[in-house]
Protein backbone atom coordinates (compact mmCIF):
# COMPACT_ATOMS: atom_id res chain seq x y z
CA UNK A 1 0.00 0.00 0.00
CA UNK A 2 1.21 3.52 -0.83
CA UNK A 3 0.71 6.51 1.47
CA UNK A 4 1.72 10.17 1.37
CA UNK A 5 3.87 11.72 4.09
CA UNK A 6 4.52 15.45 4.42
CA UNK A 7 7.69 16.47 6.25
CA UNK A 8 9.03 19.84 7.30
CA UNK A 9 12.81 19.78 7.69
CA UNK A 10 15.39 22.32 8.76
CA UNK A 11 17.61 23.34 5.86
CA UNK A 12 20.64 21.61 7.29
CA UNK A 13 23.38 19.68 5.55
CA UNK A 14 22.40 16.00 5.37
CA UNK A 15 18.82 16.41 6.66
CA UNK A 16 17.22 14.93 3.53
CA UNK A 17 19.72 12.08 3.32
CA UNK A 18 19.22 11.14 6.99
CA UNK A 19 15.44 11.18 6.61
CA UNK A 20 15.35 9.11 3.42
CA UNK A 21 17.89 6.70 4.88
CA UNK A 22 15.74 6.09 7.94
CA UNK A 23 12.67 5.46 5.77
CA UNK A 24 14.50 2.90 3.64
CA UNK A 25 16.21 1.19 6.60
CA UNK A 26 12.76 0.67 8.16
CA UNK A 27 11.67 -1.32 5.09
CA UNK A 28 9.72 1.35 3.19
CA UNK A 29 10.26 2.35 -0.43
CA UNK A 30 10.10 5.99 -1.52
CA UNK A 31 8.30 6.03 -4.89
CA UNK A 32 7.94 9.82 -5.39
CA UNK A 33 9.32 13.03 -3.87
CA UNK A 34 8.12 16.62 -4.20
CA UNK A 35 9.94 19.50 -2.51
CA UNK A 36 9.27 23.17 -1.91
CA UNK A 37 10.63 25.88 0.32
CA UNK A 38 8.64 27.60 3.05
CA UNK A 39 8.27 31.39 3.21
CA UNK A 40 11.12 31.43 5.71
CA UNK A 41 14.23 30.06 4.05
CA UNK A 42 15.08 27.84 7.03
CA UNK A 43 12.41 25.19 6.34
CA UNK A 44 12.08 22.71 3.49
CA UNK A 45 8.83 20.84 2.83
CA UNK A 46 9.02 17.30 1.42
CA UNK A 47 6.01 15.35 0.24
CA UNK A 48 6.86 11.68 -0.14
CA UNK A 49 4.90 8.80 -1.61
CA UNK A 50 5.98 5.77 0.40
CA UNK A 51 5.16 2.10 -0.21
CA UNK A 52 5.28 -0.86 2.16
CA UNK A 53 3.76 -4.28 2.60
CA UNK A 54 2.41 -4.72 6.12
CA UNK A 55 4.58 -2.21 7.99
CA UNK A 56 3.05 0.39 10.29
CA UNK A 57 3.08 3.95 8.95
CA UNK A 58 2.32 5.32 12.42
CA UNK A 59 5.52 3.77 13.77
CA UNK A 60 7.46 5.22 10.83
CA UNK A 61 6.11 8.71 11.56
CA UNK A 62 7.17 8.43 15.23
CA UNK A 63 10.67 7.34 14.15
CA UNK A 64 10.97 10.20 11.66
CA UNK A 65 9.95 12.72 14.34
CA UNK A 66 12.93 11.63 16.45
CA UNK A 67 15.39 12.90 13.84
CA UNK A 68 17.07 16.15 14.85
CA UNK A 69 16.27 18.24 11.75
CA UNK A 70 12.62 17.17 11.43
CA UNK A 71 10.18 19.92 12.42
CA UNK A 72 6.98 17.98 11.65
CA UNK A 73 5.79 14.79 9.97
CA UNK A 74 2.22 14.13 8.87
CA UNK A 75 0.66 11.03 7.38
CA UNK A 76 -1.71 12.36 4.73
CA UNK A 77 -4.93 10.61 3.81
CA UNK A 78 -4.36 9.88 0.15
CA UNK A 79 -7.47 8.78 -1.71
CA UNK A 80 -5.56 8.63 -4.98
CA UNK A 81 -3.01 6.18 -3.56
CA UNK A 82 -5.77 4.05 -2.05
CA UNK A 83 -7.68 4.03 -5.37
CA UNK A 84 -4.58 2.86 -7.29
CA UNK A 85 -4.01 0.08 -4.76
CA UNK A 86 -7.61 -1.11 -5.16
CA UNK A 87 -7.32 -1.46 -8.95
- 15-58 pLDDT, tens digit each: 999 999 999 999 999 999 999 987 777 999 999 999 999 999 99
Structure confidence at residue 81 (pLDDT): 46
31 or 84, greater pLDDT: 31
pLDDT by residue (tens digit) across 49-79? Answer: 999 999 999 999 999 999 999 999 999 985 5
C-alpha pair distances (Å), 86 with each of 34, 81, 83: 24, 9, 5
CA angle 43, 55, 17 (to 5 degrees): 30
Helix segments in the chain, DSSP class H: 15-25, 57-65, 79-86
Domain boundaries, the chain: 2-77
**Alpha-carbon gap, residue 1 to 60, rounded angstroms:** 14
CATH of domain 2-77: 3.30.70.260
Amino acid sequence: MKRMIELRLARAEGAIVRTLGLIERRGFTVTAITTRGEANSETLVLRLEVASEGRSYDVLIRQILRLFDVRSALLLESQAADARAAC
